[in-house]
Amino acid sequence: MSDYTTGIKELDDAVGGIRKGSNIMLIGPPMSGKEAILNHIMYYGAAVNENAVITVTTRESATHILEWFKEHNLDLPLPRIGIIDCVTKTLGGVAAENESIKIASSPVDLTGIGVKISQFFEEFFMKKNTQKIQLHINSLSTILMYSNIQTVFRFLHVFTGRIKAAGALGIYVIESGMHDEQAVATLKQLFDGMIEIKSQEDKNFIRMVGISQKPTPWFEYEIEGHNIKILRGN
Amino acid sequence: MVETGIPKLDEFLGGGIPRGKSLVYYSQPGVEGEIFGLQTVYGTLKNGGTCVFVASSTIPDIIKGQFKEFGWDVDSFKDKLFFVDSYNPLIGAPSNEKYIVSNPDKIEYFHKTIMDIIKELPPSTIVFGSLSTIMDLCGEKETIEAVRTWNKMAMLYNHVIIYNFTAWPYSNETLNLIKGDIFNSVISIGGIAERFIFGQYFGILKSDWADIPRKSMLFRVLRPGGIKIFIPKILVTGPFDAGKSTFVHALSTRAISVDRLGTTIAMDHGHVDYKGFSADIFGTPGQERFDPIIKLLSGESMGVFLIVDSTNPSDFVRAKHMLDITKSYGLPYVIVANKQDLPGALTPEEIRRQFHLPADVPIVPAIAKDKIGVFEAFEALIDKITGGI
């Protein structure tokens, strides 16, 4: 019996679901659709599996993320959504917190981001009695632009530990090719597995590593609206 | 003395922080420790002091916005509050502040700016928004050496110097130094965690100018309002018609009762906000058939008020029984001798005799309908819960 799923059927079937307490790196090149994949996992987690989903966003504003779902006619269950917006304030935008949005002061303010994550965890567990929680961080690459690898490692060390203790699922996005290999290798120690994406000759492929005994095959995929359509396994 | 402005903390520290001293707010990741630094800035300004805030993890304008969220108007202290901007230079943006750190990943640049401030400004409260961010950018050893110098210089120039520090998993050496001999005082801010953090507390780990009480205070952060000491639940119980609902309403800033034909059949619920303390108050119905509710609520409470009708000794047996139920949970309690305005009301001492209560149990005379005695009773119970500090 699996604890968490991605909602991409072929992948879920191949690994048999993801154990609770897992921390997973989502790594892929720019423009390969990581955003859409993460949004898909978020929607599937919240709307279909009825989990709570906490998303830390360092790239798009919270409003922008919610609009994406509206544009794709997806009805996101807001009481089970928590977005931590690290963008709006530093851009000088007007940022109002509400039940599903909290505002952090900047991507450098890891202390503040940590506080907001803890607050959402408390709200989901205590007030809303939701036991299964996903934490998505999009992306570690932005955080790494402002902080060094040791700092990010310490931050992740704390929060991957909390994910384990809470029996939650953590997904952390990293741009491949943006950081030196040693940095990525350092961070990998903290993760139980990864969702890996590669682009070859205008085609995109996805696989999961470390979740099941062997890596899954590479699945070629296309993004159709909000759907991740698997073309064939090879 | 510079007051921190945080309820109970100034009292614990013997009135506040003496000039020339250094203090660190040492927070576990995920708890709202940074508010302590902000509240201390506002506490200083309100008392006419001068303040410097070192903004290292976000721009000064956002810090100003945070003050506003707490309802603290810092605009009116413009010429008393200075910012050190080390964030805009980090992201390559221009800064309007007088004090900037042009190279925030080099400790020498921090050092120069901080030393200028220490020498230029009159005795001030210097607050570092996030020492951990500086340490992350400039290195652990380098930052600690600089902090030692700043603390020494602050002492010579009569400043108070305060740091917010998030205890990420740095090396043990670094964490032990910070908890150890670098600062005159260490305030530890932590979370009560099971699978997640559901309560926050602070306590004093170290202070070289005051005898420190071995107590931790639960707190919540209110916007507006800032840090409030927090007592999760207080139970109000007592026989039928003793005035429990009246008491809950008199004490609460907001309250509701679920009742029928003028008597409470489910419960009263209120919230108190008084002298830096926040508490949720639950009143139980008086009739015996509701005793299971008292048991249920006692398990989650931290203290009990027993309300008695001072004119009605025939109910004291029942009152005593209700008290026994809650006492079995080991809860601190205070007796409220209500209806003192009515003829024939017994004095607290007469009630103590009839109840065979030891002398250290507070019995507070009250007229709940006129709000007389209710806040005295509240303070007496808080003292019992916190051990009278």
Tokens of B56: 């290292």
- Non-local (6+) Cβ contacts of A46 within 8 A are A52, A53, A76, A77, A80, A81
Q: Which residue in chain B has the smallest CA separation from A167?
A: B195
What Å distances lie between residue A217 and A197, A212, B97, B231, B318, CA to CA? Answer: 12, 11, 56, 55, 73
- What tokens appear for B273 in the block? 């906000």
User: Which residues lie below 8 Å from residue B383, measured CB to CB, with a gap of 6+?
Assistant: none
What domain range is A188 assigned to?
9-222
B171, B196, B224 - which closes a domain: B224
Of A105, A151, A167, the CB nearest to B62: A105
Q: CB of A89 within 8 Å of any CB in chain B?
A: yes
Best residue in B36, B174, B195 for a mutation probing chain A (most A CBs within 10 Å):
B195
Asked if B83 and B75 touch (Cβ cutoff 8 Å), the reply is no
Using a CB-CB distance cutoff of 8 angstroms, which residues of chain B are in contact with residue A109?
Answer: 57-58, 130, 133
Q: What is the ipTM of this complex?
A: 0.89
Name the domain count of chain A: 1
Asked if residue A100 lies in contact with residue A81, where contact means CB atoms within 8 angstroms, the answer is yes
3-state SS of chain B?
CECCCCCCHHHHCCCCECCCCEEEEEECCCCCCHHHHHHHHHHHHHCCCCEEEEECCCCHHHHHHHHHHCCCCCHHHHHHEEEEECCHHHHCCCCCCCEECCCCCCHHHHHHHHHHHHHHCCCCEEEECCHHHHHHHHCHHHHHHHHHHHHHHHHHCCCEEEEEEECCCCCHHHHHHHHCCCCCEEEEEEEEECCCEEEEEEEEEEECCCCCCCCEEEEEEECCCEEEEEEEEEEEECCCCCCHHHHHHHHCCEEEEEEECCEEEEEEEEEEEECCEEEEEEECCCCHHHHHHHHHHHCCCCEEEEEEECCCHHHHHHHHHHHHHHHCCCCCEEEEEECCCCCCCCCHHHHHHHHCCCCCCCEEECEHHHCECHHHHHHHHHHHHHCCC
| Mean pLDDT confidence for A63-88 | 95
B55 has which bridge partners? B85
The number of distinct structural domains making up chain B is: 2
Question: Within this chain, do residues B263 and B213 fall inside the same structural domain, yes or no?
Answer: no
Q: Looking at residue B230, what is its pLDDT?
A: 75
CB nearest B133 (choices: A108, A121, A166): A108
CATH number at residue A191: 3.40.50.300
**pLDDT, tens digit, 9 for 90 and up, residues B188-212:** 998 866 566 666 889 899 999 988 8
Q: Per the CB < 8 Å rule, is B195 touching A167?
A: yes
Task: Kindly state whether residue A95 falls inside one of the protein's structural domains.
Answer: yes
SS3 A176: coil
Q: Are residues B59 and B148 in the same domain?
A: yes
Q: What is the mean pLDDT of residues B115-120?
A: 97
Chain B hits for A105, CB-CB cut-off 8 Å, are 57-58, 62-63, 66
Instruction: Taking residues B167-187, report their average pLDDT.
Output: 96
* Chain B CB within 8 Å of residue A185 CB: no
The reply to whether B4 falls in a domain is: no
- Do B93 and B235 lie in one domain? The reply is no
Which has the minimum average pLDDT: A65-69, B309-313, B385-389? B385-389
Q: Is residue B207 part of a domain?
A: yes
Residues in A touching B197 (Cβ below 8 Å): 118, 121-122
Residue B312: predicted pLDDT:
93
Q: What pLDDT does residue B108 have?
A: 98
Phi, psi of B361 (to 5 degrees): -85, 120
The 10 Å Cβ neighbour count of residue A84 is 25
Q: What is the mean pLDDT of chain B?
A: 89
When CB atoms are compared, the residue of B34, B87, B197 closest to A108 is B87
State yes or no: pLDDT of B80 exceeds 50.
Answer: yes
CB contact under 8 A, A118 and B130: no
In the prediction, which pLDDT does A130 show? Answer: 86
Residues B179 and B240 in one domain: no
Confidence grade of residue B263 (pLDDT, cut at 50, 70, 90): low
Give, for B126, the enclosing helix (H) or strand (E). strand B125-128
User: Residue B36 falls within a domain, yes or no?
Assistant: yes
3-state helix, strand, coil split of chain B in percent (to 5) is: 35, 30, 35
B266 and B126 in a common domain: no
**Residues of B engaging A, defined by a Cβ cutoff of 8 Å:** 27, 29-34, 57-59, 62-63, 65-66, 87, 90-91, 130, 132-133, 136-137, 164, 166, 168-170, 191, 195-198
| B87: chain A residues, CB-CB within 8 Å | 106, 108
In a domain, A20, yes or no: yes
What's the mean per-residue pLDDT of chain A?
92
- pLDDT class for B182, splitting at 50, 70, 90? very high
- Cα separation, A57 vs B67, in Å, equals 24
CA distance A69 to chain B (A): 29
Residue A1 has pLDDT above 50, yes or no: no
Tokens standing for residue B126: 């210097």
* Shared domain check, B216 and B344: no
Residue B302's pLDDT band (cuts 50, 70, 90): confident
Q: Is residue A44 part of a domain?
A: yes
A115 interfacial to chain B (CB closer than 8 Å)? yes
A58 lies in some domain: yes
A219-224 vs A203-209, strand pairing mode: antiparallel
* A181 part of a folded domain: yes
Whether residue A229 is contained in a domain is answered as no
Last residue of a domain, one of B224, B245, B267: B224
Q: Are residues B57 and B127 in the same domain?
A: yes
B138 backbone φψ class: left, alpha, beta (φ>0; ψ -120 to 50) = alpha
User: Do B195 and B262 lie in a common domain?
Assistant: no
The residue-averaged pLDDT of B259-269 equals 66
B389 pLDDT above the threshold of 60: no
Q: Is residue B351 situated within a structural domain?
A: yes
How many residues does the structure list for chain B? Answer: 389
Share of chain B above pLDDT 70, in %: 91
Name the phi and psi angles at A218, rounded to 5: -75, 130
B288 assigned to some structural domain: yes
Q: What is the average per-residue pLDDT within A213-234?
A: 87
Q: What was the pLDDT predicted at B387?
A: 53
Q: Within a domain: residue B3?
A: no
For residue A2, being part of any structural domain is answered with no
Q: Is residue B2 part of a domain?
A: no
Identify the CATH number of the domain in which residue B156 sits: 3.40.50.300
B18-39 pLDDT tens trace: 999 999 999 999 999 999 999 9
| Rg value, chain B, Cα | 25
* Domain extent for B307: 231-386
Residues B322 and B205 in one domain: no
Contact B195 A166 (CB under 8 A): yes
Winning range, highest mean pLDDT, from A36-50, A89-103, B298-312: A36-50
Q: Is the pLDDT of residue B388 over 50?
A: no
- Which range, B136-145, B243-252, B319-328, B351-360, is most confident? B136-145
Residue at which a domain ends, from B224, B243, B276: B224
Q: Residue A230 above 70 pLDDT?
A: yes
- Residue in chain A nearest B90 by alpha carbon: A146
Asked whether residue B65 falls in the same domain as residue B167, the answer is yes
Contact B219, A144 (CB under 8 A): no
Give the mutation candidate from A56, A94, A106, A115 for the B interface (greatest B CB count, under 10 A). Answer: A115
Report the residue from A118, A147, A151 with minimal CB separation from B30.
Answer: A118
The bridge status of strand B254-260 relative to strand B185-193 is unpaired
Q: Looking at the structure, do residues B239 and B196 belong to the same domain, yes or no?
A: no
User: Of residues A180 and B192, which shows the higher confidence score?
Assistant: A180
User: With contact defined as beta carbons under 8 Å apart, do B140 and B133 qualify?
Assistant: no
Residue appearing with tokens 């779902």: A69
